[in-house]
Amino acid sequence: MKFQLIFSEEALWQLKKLDNKTAKRILDKLESTTTDPVNFFERLAGREEYKLRVGDYRILARILIVDKKIFVMSIGHIKKIYK
């Protein structure tokens, strides 16, 4: 069963600021992870969040395994995402 993607308002705002090609790449990558997100995302050390690499961009998300949901919290360039 596929996981459901849920975006925070911040993540949607950040996605809209990106150029169309980059935004599509990110959305395609997120869609491909919905079958088994734990296999694609990497857990951040000392935190509950997971990260996903898409070129120079990172996606921070929480994976709710019981609810079958991926909650995308933030999307940004590697230079700014962890601050």
Mean pLDDT (whole number) for 50-55 = 95
Q: Are strands 50-54 and 57-64 parallel, antiparallel or unpaired?
A: antiparallel
pLDDT: which is higher, 81 or 23: 23
CATH number at residue 63: 3.30.2310.20
pLDDT of residue 83: 65
Q: How confident is the model at residue 81 (pLDDT cuts 50, 70, 90)?
A: confident
Instruction: Write out the residue range of the structural domain in which residue 48 sits.
Output: 4-81
Give the whole-angstrom CA distance, residue 32 versus residue 37.
9
Domain count, the chain: 1
Q: Is the pTM of this model over 0.85?
A: yes
pLDDT of residue 1: 78
Task: State the CB neighbour count (10 A cutoff) for residue 73.
Answer: 15
pLDDT: which is higher, 53 or 82: 53
